[in-house]
Structure 1
């Protein structure tokens, strides 16, 4: 009998007595969704060229700024500004209305300010404990929807829905529908987690802990928006403990597996590099395909993700590399951050500094992280 490496990776029993409950008892506001992500890059032409191959449409292009969108209604998905070097600035979240912004500003000692006319609405600008710039916005301009990429009509077993018609999905960009989530690494995981739960009213869907270190608490959390009885994406934000504060990846929804696969072939033919995929995750259940953009940022096409309402309590599972997917190729060295690269060298250089600094990444956590990479 073969061993199932995924058996027992997700505990339906959830938290043990005294473990983190995964939500704040009295949050300041409850954000509704991610609005957009903000980056700086030196070459906007090159950034736009990749973005269009990845499946974005351009909203705004100036000498100093690029705004990208999906086919859905709403604000742009990604805002890129010209700068001398590439870096991730932070996320923006939608809140329900101006009253929420006023409440958040009062609680944090900040002010409500107008956004640029190209975006409309108002913003409260904050900084999370790991130093990321976090914007909370309301009443932004709503871009009308664009023609989308329809899922293929499938024959499934004895259920026949397609007759006298062959499947020929076009090899073209997988059209991005919307921004799904962003993942960030922090040296102050617990402090940063509690900040998002309290200030933005988010709730945890799943916790991961290093094998053999559950008593020390989780080291990764998949966090969703609290929309009450209305289902929300399994995670809108994910936080993971590590030796430095950094962007890990962001994810954008596409129509289905065929759009993802054909879109991947389109990217590959144009010389772009797949980091890991195609596969299906465990936490969140998404079909996934990860790519590197020309500036080295990791971006994901995903489809068919889980949605949870606010009643579901967090799951708990050990953090292992084999536990990142139900099926698909093994997690690649590039995805795990151990492929020789400038990014891996920066991570390696940060290890010594993190172990000497006042943060949550200590020697025991380092051992746990090395076990994950070997698992």
Structure 2
């Protein structure tokens, strides 16, 4: 039985009559998880140095490809390929069953092929309505676990568990455990949302809408994998309407708040740039800390995120800058992507002239929300 969002499980508001259901009645398949993300970088040595400082382990490397992993068993988290510029190439999702690739191939007219890389397996290559290449893989051999960075033992209220021992978290990289989610910006929000729900069987945990334009539908969605009764991350993929089309950030789980904080101090000591943090998000509830890598791509350490099974219905909330966190420092322009620049102006003008879902009213509503 589905749980109603009005029960305050995660949002004070649920859908109004006739609003988006947040799931497909008959999806082609239901992906089980986000497998990895692929990037292109000009300098693999610099990319590896940041990756180690951020807390990744190197699973394998060749002269032209770097495979990064977390401590938990599974596939690599990130694949970095040498290329002429630094950019996001796209996500890879893990199919629940081998037959899912065949169903996708029959529906989309794509081919299933062997994946001749680390871990092997088979892959089908698709493209979403925004133009992002999307891979769906199955049969990739899991990497074995690595030594963990264990959460600290906390003395909480009347339940002390640490006696005659002091807390001294090491100032060291926060060991990444696994890939959590990726966030994308798109001018084709409704079309892209429908594609991920209908093709990959994802379901919406939370919608955000422009406060004075709710009748036009949501402008952001947090999507999770539908594993039935098995819980999944509040969001594996998040998308929002905007003038650009591209990568916003990706997030990687670490052990606890102290790992987030001490790992952040280590990154600061090494001269990297914090974008926003530390705080606790509203949608997803996770403790967050955002950083820029040397190529200015944004990445997040997180801990203590929400897990939902398939029974939880979408929550609905107004989009606003202050609504992004329950506590923490004020959100930065860098995080919001609202710092004025000639490139930003060009992106906006290009979007308004194109055939997409962004018009002047939507743009003004988004600008108002990011100042709220």
* Residue of structure 2 equivalent to 1:268: 268
* Residue of structure 1 equivalent to 2:173: 173
Alpha-carbon spacing, 1:112–1:296, altered in 2? closer, same or farther (3 Å): same
* Residue of structure 2 equivalent to 1:19: 19
Q: CA deviation at 1:119?
A: 2.7
Q: CA deviation at 1:12?
A: 3.6
* Aligned partner of residue 123 in structure 2, secondary structure: strand
* Residue of structure 2 equivalent to 1:5: none
Whole-Å separation in 2 of the counterparts to 1:364 and 1:209: 13
Whole-Å separation in 1 of the counterparts to 2:94 and 2:24: 19
* Residue of structure 1 equivalent to 2:3: none
1:346 aligns with 2:350: no
1:67 aligns with 2:67: yes
Whole-Å separation in 1 of the counterparts to 2:31 and 2:279: 30
Whole-Å separation in 1 of the counterparts to 2:344 and 2:306: 31
* Residue of structure 2 equivalent to 1:138: 138
* Aligned partner of residue 179 in structure 1, secondary structure: strand
Number of equivalenced pairs: 364
* Aligned partner of residue 351 in structure 1, secondary structure: helix
* Residue of structure 2 equivalent to 1:90: 90
Whole-Å separation in 1 of the counterparts to 2:177 and 2:117: 24
Q: CA deviation at 1:61?
A: 1.6
Across the aligned residues of Structure 1 and Structure 2, the Cα RMSD in angstroms comes to: 1.1
Whole-Å separation in 1 of the counterparts to 2:262 and 2:339: 26
After superposition, the C-alpha distances for 1:171-193 in whole angstroms (9 at most, x for unaligned) are 00000000000000000000000
| 8 Å CA contact 2:72, 2:146 repeated in 1 | yes
Q: What's the TM-score once normalised by structure 2's chain length? A: 0.96
Whole-Å separation in 1 of the counterparts to 2:257 and 2:345: 35
1:359 aligns with 2:347: no
Q: CA deviation at 1:11?
A: 4.5
After superposition, the C-alpha distances for 1:122-143 in whole angstroms (9 at most, x for unaligned) are 0010000000000000010110
Q: CA deviation at 1:346?
A: 3.0
Whole-Å separation in 1 of the counterparts to 2:291 and 2:117: 32
Whole-Å separation in 1 of the counterparts to 2:155 and 2:367: 44
* Residue of structure 2 equivalent to 1:80: 80
* Aligned partner of residue 36 in structure 1, secondary structure: strand
Q: CA deviation at 1:18?
A: 1.0
1:185 aligns with 2:182: no
Q: What's the TM-score once normalised by structure 1's chain length? A: 0.95
Counterpart mapping for 1:272-291 below 5 A: 272-291=272-291
| 8 Å CA contact 2:206, 2:315 repeated in 1 | yes
Whole-Å separation in 2 of the counterparts to 1:248 and 1:103: 30
After superposition, the C-alpha distances for 1:96-135 in whole angstroms (9 at most, x for unaligned) are 1210111111110001111014230000100000000000
* Residue of structure 2 equivalent to 1:148: 148
Counterpart mapping for 1:21-60 below 5 A: 21-60=21-60
Alpha-carbon spacing, 1:266–1:11, altered in 2? closer, same or farther (3 Å): closer
Whole-Å separation in 2 of the counterparts to 1:368 and 1:257: 34
Alpha-carbon spacing, 1:345–1:147, altered in 2? closer, same or farther (3 Å): farther
* Residue of structure 1 equivalent to 2:249: 249
Alpha-carbon spacing, 1:42–1:204, altered in 2? closer, same or farther (3 Å): same
| 8 Å CA contact 2:123, 2:138 repeated in 1 | yes
Whole-Å separation in 2 of the counterparts to 1:346 and 1:202: 33
| 8 Å CA contact 2:11, 2:317 repeated in 1 | yes
* Aligned partner of residue 88 in structure 1, secondary structure: strand
Whole-Å separation in 2 of the counterparts to 1:83 and 1:155: 49
Whole-Å separation in 2 of the counterparts to 1:186 and 1:84: 24
